[in-house]
Amino acid sequence: MSNLLDLAGIGAGPFNLAVAALMRDKSLSHRFFEAKAEFSWHPGLMLPGAMMQTSYLKDLVTPVDPSNPCSFLMYLVENKRFYDFLHAEQRTVTRREFADYLSWAARRLDSIQMNSRVQSVVDNGEYFELDVHGPNGREQVHTKNLCVAAGKKPNIPECSRSLLSDNCFHALEIALRNPDVSGKRVAVIGGGQTGAEVVINLLNKHWGRPQKVTWVSRRSNYLPLDETPFTNDWFTPEYVDVFRQLSPQRREEVIAEQKLASDGISPDTLKELYQLFYRLVHLEKNSECVSLMPNRELVGMSHRCDYQLQLENRLLGSADGTEWIDADIVILCTGLCEALPPCMAPLQEQIARDREGRLLLDDAFAAKLSGDESGRRLYFLGTGRSSHGIAEPQLSLSAWRAAQVVNDLHGSAEYDNQQTSNFMKWITPQAEQVAVA
Ligand SMILES: Cc1cc2nc3c(=O)[nH]c(=O)nc-3n(C[C@H](O)[C@H](O)[C@H](O)COP(=O)(O)OP(=O)(O)OC[C@H]3O[C@@H](n4cnc5c(N)ncnc54)[C@H](O)[C@@H]3O)c2cc1C
């Protein structure tokens, strides 16, 4: 078949953009399909002042291919702001600037086809058939290999599912909804970075002046993201390699133990929040406008003219800690969860999973298709936390991850992805264990 692609990609968020950037000058044919008409990166959470939690050097390409024309440094140079950027001495950049960089990179890559939603994927045993709804109507695309990086879906607490509305919604869309909270009692559920950013913007009257903001967190406190040097060593290719050697049970334990390395609130945001609360409560004498409730899990919800939220405080033990609060608006900052896009439904049964239903991905992020001996590759990016560890849903390793895919696809080391190990000795070498025994 003459028009059979070597690789098609579903989605053109940062993870597939990295693959596209590294495939740019390679001989294999490739196209990436993106449903949005114009590039945007989490536009619903593009809130004033939001900062990246990852260094701009961990961009789409630099860690594996620093001379690639899609690097962040190239973006600065081409936009004629290299020196100003340098003199601003920023450790991280705003989310807005990073999104602009991603958008700039997407425009330079001919393989990205915007306004093209992959409606379904069928496996005919020799290649994948994609039904793509693009700007010029429907197109059947045939590809030998497929790279799925279609993002995650909002995690909605069970008790809120039937109550979703204009006044009870997930924060992922808040900047697009632009809710009017003037004079309203607002409950923010979730004590991570998104919850923190939403609370800051509520109290800064970005959506009007709320009567009261109640911030509920299941965690024991408003806990910081750990971005210290040794913790950052968990976000390295070498550590992923170590993680891959752990048993499934140890992997789950390690992921739980490392939660705050990827899921806490940036220390700068915490400082900003505390200073804001200090000003409101002590200087503006407005202690009624904010209530912080850590240790509480949202366990029940009902709606009459407003919302009644049942919270369980487990600090003192079990059942005695039940409280109810009322709110006019409920904003769920309850995170995102891994999910395959609906277009992959026809392949669901064929994709190998473990007993808990988690994807079984190999070192190159490829899943096994049951009964398939053809050697075709089906990559999943951003959905392998249980197989590759806490760095998987993050940008930190997106260039390295993309290089793993590109090398695997070519069957050769197109990019030198080998890292020399540093001073961290994560595991006991087998030989030494035997000697001691
Ligand atoms: C607000 C926010 C801030 C974040 N900040 C950081 C950070 O600072 N540092 C960090 O390491 N991580 C961060 N993350 C986590 C992670 O890096 C991002 O979520 C990242 O965008 C994931 O990239 P992705 O390409 O997998 O998915 P997405 O960026 O979600 O992109 C997926 C794309 O696929 C498209 N798509 C879906 N289905 C189809 C289909 N059927 N056909 C065609 N296209 C489709 C979607 O339109 C979307 O554009 C952040 C996450 C969020 C939500």
Q: What is the mean pLDDT of residues 383-388?
A: 94
Residue with CA nearest ligand 1 atom 4: 52
Per-residue pLDDT, 373: 85
pLDDT score of 437: 45
Q: Which atom of ligand 1 is nearest to the CA of 51?
A: 8
CA distance 106 to 93: 19
The string of pLDDT tens digits covering residues 178-190 is: 999 999 999 999 9
| Mean pLDDT, residues 424-432 | 79
- Please state the atom number of ligand 1 nearest to the C-alpha of residue 194: 1
Q: For 245-264, what is the mean pLDDT?
A: 93
Which class in CATH covers the domain with range 5-152+340-410? alpha beta
Q: What is the pLDDT of residues 120-142, one digit of tens each?
A: 999 999 999 999 999 999 999 99
Q: What is the second-level CATH architecture of the domain 154-224+264-332?
A: 3-Layer(bba) Sandwich (3.50)
Alpha helix (H) ranges present in 54-164? Answer: 72-78, 82-87, 95-108
Residue owning tokens 């369980």:
312
Q: Residue 103 pLDDT > 80, yes or no?
A: yes
Q: What is the atom index within ligand 1 of the atom nearest the CA of 150? A: 34
Q: Long-range contacts: 272-280, Cβ < 8 Å, 24+? A: 272/200, 273/196, 273/199, 273/200, 273/222, 276/200, 276/203, 276/204, 280/203
- Same CATH fold assignment for domains 5-152+340-410 and 154-224+264-332: yes
How far, in Å, from the CA of 364 to the mean position of ligand 1?
Answer: 20
What does the pLDDT read at residue 318? Answer: 66
> What is the residue-averaged pLDDT of the chain?
94
What are the DSSP E strand ranges found in 210-321? 212-216, 290-293, 296-303, 307-313
In this structure, which residue's CA is closest to atom 49 in ligand 1?
13
- High-pLDDT (> 70) share of the chain, %: 97
Domain layout of the chain by residue ranges: 5-152+340-410, 154-224+264-332
* Residue 86 reports pLDDT greater than 50: yes
Enumerate residues lining ligand 1, CB below 6 A: 10-11, 13-16, 33-36, 41-42, 45, 52-54, 117-118, 149-151, 341, 343, 381-382, 393-396
Interval 72-97 mean pLDDT: 97
